[in-house]
Amino acid sequence: MQASQRTTQTNQADGNRTNQQESLNRRHILTITSGDTFLGRCIAAYLLKESERDGRSRHHECRIRVLCRHDSDCDSLRDMGAEIFVTDYEDCEELREAFCDSEYAIFIPDMSRKRVRHGEAVIKAMEQENVCHVLMMSSLGAETDEKHLKKLHEYRRLEKYLEESLTKGKWCIFRLDFFQQLFMFWAQMIQEEGILALNTGHDGRFAPVNICDICRATYNTVTGRGRRDDRNRAQGYAVGQPSTSMTSDQRTNDSDTFRWAPLDNRHHKKIYRLTGPVAVNGEDIAQMINRVVDNDYDVVRFESISCEEMKKELERIRREHGGRRHDDWRDEDRNDNDRRNENWRYRSSIQTSQGQGNIQTAISGLQAALASVQLASAGLQATVGMQRNENALQAVIGGMQIQTAIAGVQIAVANVQGVTNGTTDGRRGNDRRWDDRRWDDRRQTDEDRSDRSGRRGRNGRNRKHRDGRFRHEKPIGRHLNETKIETIVEFLEFVKSGNADFTSVKRCPN
């Protein structure tokens, strides 16, 4: 009898250890949806880079799973170590498989006409797979009562569905302001016409935020960073501290292990509005550009236009600069060769700022000016308005990587000569054609370099300039589709209404 009891106790102990190990394995997987969108790629790349750096001197057990429609859109993330999962957002079984064994999720609504249907399917799959911690990316203006802003209302519908459906886990929502990087769409207008045209009116104010700050705030949330860091280090814990469900012995053994941190109770059922520290209108933005580009006279002026005119301008960029003509990221009715050719059909001097170094003068000046305003502000708390729940918000934005003005000013100074002289040589990176990412398969061969005819190089992507140099062209319009255009236009119209609320924290009803 005693031997039987000892055997039973041993089996129970083994079962407990097995269940605990399975729980720990689940805790290491973070799933990011819409990895083929601009925001999704930026957040995934930032988390991969920072988690690798934080885990370099410690045992690294974190895994990042990225959902996308086509694996070719996430090749760079796979090279960085992400697990790419190609899924159909209308297939419930595929979505459940995508969230299998995942305890943390970053939910980014996609940019398609079926955004609400896809989002509801994702939330339902997370609930069915018992995802315990969900961070959702929404948009400022989702709470507006103006019924004609349908695309912004879609975010609020998904917020409500998340609040009602995710009953087994914790959730938190980031409502994001206008990205500073989106001003790249206005680069040609600013350079060729000296006009910054927005449908915000003359009095509409908003606070553009750098996407790097959004990525940093996301990283702080999923790793438990912020004000808690110093306390964790003082206690000998890793920054991504082990779960409180672990025993003291396990904490001692695993204090050097980097893991995702459970969503803090202070963030549960909270909505954070992530904005820049200072609200500006169109005139202010134009003056920021002028201060960086030229101090003698105004070379850029602001012009208020209608929603229809703004939409036509963005559609022109999509049409002329490599944008896809269809609402979805891919047209499923065409073969791979047709898709590939359409992606590179249009050529433009407008460059994307991601990994190129060829940032246009006016936009670089704008980002530098906005960064200068951030540095000049008396801290993020005073300007954003963190009167309520200050400690909880500081845990999210604590240590946010506020972009310095130095790099932007250097870029702008390097670019001023090229624009003012009417050439295309005024850009950063003349001595550095390639960034830190791996472009080995696209580097020029000797034959490419010896091509004097100005034709495209290998793969049709490396194009020779009149000065003999090559550059890698990525059409900026490829980031636009019909849904994204409508979302941008509606957000700027929301700014025009003057109803933007810069209060940082809102407590959601239970």
Residues 317 and 357 in one domain: yes
Contact 318, 477 (CB under 8 A): yes
Do 184 and 208 meet the contact criterion of CB atoms below 8 Å apart?
Answer: no
User: Is residue 507 in some structural domain?
Assistant: no
User: Would you say residue 206 lies in a domain?
Assistant: no
Asked whether residue 453 carries a pLDDT value surpassing 50, the answer given is no
205 in a structural domain: no
308 and 259 inside one domain: no
In this prediction, residues 48-60 reach a mean pLDDT of: 66
The whole-number average pLDDT for the span 476-497 is 80
CB-CB contact of 80 with 45 (8 Å)? yes
396 and 322 in a common domain: yes
At residue 60, the pLDDT reads 56
Q: Between 212 and 446, where is the model more confident?
A: 212
Helix axes 390-397, 211-223, angle to 10 degrees: 110
pLDDT in tens, 214-256: 999 999 898 887 544 444 433 333 333 333 333 333 333 444 4
Tokens describing residue 90: 């209308």
Residues 308, 429, single domain; the answer is: yes
Same domain, 351 and 406: yes
When the pLDDT of each residue in the chain is averaged and rounded to a whole number, the result is 66
**176 in Cβ contact with 140 (< 8 Å):** yes
Residues 6+ apart with CB under 8 A from 271: 138, 159, 172, 173, 174, 175, 505, 506, 508
Per-residue buried b or exposed e for 384-420, using 16+ beta carbons within 10 Å of the residue's own CB: bbbeebeebbbbbbbebebbebeebbebbbbbbebbe
The reply to whether 225 falls in a domain is yes
Structure tokens belonging to residue 70: 């086509």
**Does one domain contain both 379 and 396?**
yes
Structure-block tokens of residue 322: 């490599």
Tell me how far apart the 2 most distant CA atoms of the chain are, in Å: 96
The band of 162, judged by pLDDT with boundaries at 50, 70 and 90, is very high
Total tally of structural domains belonging to the chain: 2
Residue of higher predicted confidence among 264 and 100: 100
Domain span at 288: 282-434+448-497
Residue 384 pLDDT grade (very low, low, confident, very high; cuts 50, 70, 90): very low
Shared domain for 365 and 382, answered yes or no, is: yes
In-domain check, residue 489:
yes
pTM exceeds 0.75, yes or no: no
Is residue 366 domain-resident?
yes
Q: Are residues 236 and 345 in the same domain?
A: no
Q: Which of 212, 176, 204, 170 is nearest to 49 (CA)?
A: 212
* Three-state secondary-structure class, residue 24: helix
Q: Are 33 and 40 in contact (CB under 8 A)?
A: yes
**Within a domain: 20:** no
Asked if 262 and 293 sit in the same domain, the reply is no
Question: How many C-beta neighbours within 10 Å does residue 76 have?
Answer: 17
Residues 259, 238, single domain; the answer is yes
Q: What is the DSSP string of 146-182?
A: -TT-HHHHHHHHHHHHHHHH--SSEEEEEEE--BGGG
Same domain, 255 and 357: no
268-321 pLDDT tens trace: 889 999 988 888 999 999 988 888 776 566 788 999 999 999 999 988 888 876
Whether residue 380 sits in one domain with residue 246 = no
**Mean per-residue pLDDT, 119-129:** 95
